[in-house]
Chains A and B, each alone.
Chain A
Amino acid sequence: MEKSIEQIWKNGFLNEDLLIPKVKSLYNQKSISIVENIINKFKKQIFLLIPLGILVFIFNIILDNENAIFWGSISAIPCFIWFLIGKNQVKSIKEIDYKSNSYDYLVAVREKINQIRSFNKRLIITCVPLGFLPMLIYTYFNQQGKTIGEIFGVDGLYYPTVFIFLLIPILTLIAVLISNFLFKIISKNRTFDITSLIKEMEELSPKP
C-alpha cells in the first residue's frame, strides 16, 4: 500500500531516534560577518581622507596666499599620511589570527579596534594643529594688518589677524567630533555586537 505523506512523516519519526546534532563552530559565521562589516566600513572611511586632503589644499588656495600650491600641499600631507596609517590599521585587523577560536578572535578584534580608536584620537589632536599651523603662520605674516573678515572675505569680522590662530583649537575640536562620529558609524551596533557575542560566549562556556 502506498504511504501517505502523513504516514511517512509519522512513521519516520516514530522509527527514528531524534538525535541532537553535532555542534561545530557556534559563532564562527557571525564573528566573521561582524568583523568583515567593520573592516568594510573602515576601508570606506579611509578612502574619504583623500578628498579631505584635496579639500584642505583647495582651502589654502581660497585663502589666497602666495605660494598657495606649496602650502596647500604641505597642509594636505597629514591627510595622506593618515590614509596610509589607516590602511595599515585595516591590515592589522585583517591579520588577527583566524585560526584561533572565535572567542579569542573577537576579543582580539575588540582590543585592536579600541587601540585604533585611541591612537586615531591622539593622532588628530597632534596632526590637525601641525597640519594647519604652517598655513596659518604664513597667513599671519602674509596678511598682516588685515582683519579676519578681510582675510576670509566675510563682512563684520573685525578681529585682528592674530585671531586666525583660534582656528587651531576650533579645527582640532571639529576633527575630533568628526572622528568620533565616523567611528560611531563604523561601530554602530558592531562593537556592541562583538561585546554581546563575547558576553554570550562567556556565559555559555566560562573562561577559566
Chain B
Amino acid sequence: MEATRPEPFEIVLRPDAGWRSLEIASLWQYRDLLSLLVWRDFVSKYKQTILGPLWFIIQPLCMTLVFTVIFGKVAGLSTDGLPPVLFYLCGQLGWNYFAQNFSSNSATFIANAGLFGKVYFPRLVVPLAALVSNLFAFAIQLATFVCFYIYFKYGRGAGGFGMDWRVILLPLLVLQTAILSLGVGLVMSALTAKYRDLTHLSALLIQVWMYATPVIYPLSGFPLEWRWVAALNPMTPIVEAFRLLLLGVGTVEPRYFVCSMVTTVVVTIAGLMLFNRIEKTFVDIV
C-alpha cells in the first residue's frame, strides 16, 4: 500500500495564471486516468452490442459503397486511376479519424459538464483520451483497408498502385491528423461551452469540411491554378498524403504540406489557449 507521497508539494492557485496553469506535468501524473478513460470508452461502447467493433468496418464500407455508386458511377468523378473501393476507403481512413476526433473533442465541455463540476483533474486528459480511443477505430479501418488492398493487388492483379518504403511515415501522418483534430476540436469545445448554439455549427462544419477535402475526389482533379485554394484546407494535403503513402498515388506538394503543418501548429496553440481559458471557469457558465 502506498501511503501519502513524501515529496514536498505546493500549488499556488491564482486567477489568470495563464500558461503556467496548463500543467503539462500534471497531465503525466494523470496518465492512468487517461488509459482508464480510453478503456471505459472501449468497454462501454461494446457492452450490449451484437457486432461490437464491427461497426467501425460497416460504416466506412457502406460509405464506400455509396461513394462508389454516386460519385464514381453516377457523377463519374475521377479516382486518380485507382480502384474506386481502395480510393474511397483510403480517403476515409484519415478523414474519419479526424472527423471523429473533432466531434468528440468539440463536445468535451458539454458532455463532461457533470464530471467537471465535481472533481478536478487536468481537463486536457479528456480530449487526449478521445484521440487515443478513436485510434482504435482507425486501426480497425486500416486493417479493413489492408484486406481490400491485398485483394485488389494480388487477388485481382490490379496494377498502377502500391505502397513503398514511405509507408513507414504513416504514424507521423496519423500524429499530425491527431494534433490538427485536437487543435480544431479544442477551439470548438471552448466556443460551444460559451455559445451553446455553436454545437449545431460544429456538426454542420464537419459535413461541409468533408466535401472541401479530397475524400471523394482527388486533388489532381483541381485545375492547377486553383489548387492553392484547396490547399488552404489543412486536411487536403493530409488526405492526399494518406493516398500517397498507402497507394503510391497522391498529389502532395511540399509547400502545401508545410502550410498544413504550420496551420496545425497555429490552430493547436490557439485551441490550447482557448481551452485553458475556458476550463478555469467553465462550471460557472454551465
A and B physically associate: no
> Which B residues lie at the A interface, using CB under 8 A?
none
> Which A residues lie at the B interface, using CB under 8 A?
none
